[in-house]
Amino acid sequence: MKFTFGPVHPISIILYVIGIPLLFLTIADHVGSYFDLSDALRLQLFLAGSICLVSASILNLGLHIYRQWRSNNESSP
């Protein structure tokens, strides 16, 4: 059985580009207090970044499952 992942969905790329800097910003502020964010704002940014990354991952996984299902149904008579 061969595991291959097709191209990443463009929407998930946008979600990754948004989510990763948000998480980096919150972690960097928590560790070094570089940006002087309040705890509530840091939590909101962390949750927004996490939601973006989880949504992108679910989108890619769903797209991969759909492509596998479609290729299996096309090959069977």
- Number of separate domains in the chain: 1
Domain that holds residue 42: 10-75
In a domain, 26, yes or no: yes
Smallest Cα–Cα separation from 52: which of 74, 20, 25? Answer: 20
Q: How confident is the model at residue 71 (pLDDT cuts 50, 70, 90)?
A: confident
| pTM for the whole structure | 0.78
Mean pLDDT across the stretch 14-37? Answer: 88
In a domain, 4, yes or no: no
In a domain, 3, yes or no: no
Tokens of 17: 């580009």
Residues 6+ apart with CB under 8 A from 33: none
In a domain, 5, yes or no: no
pLDDT attached to residue 74: 80
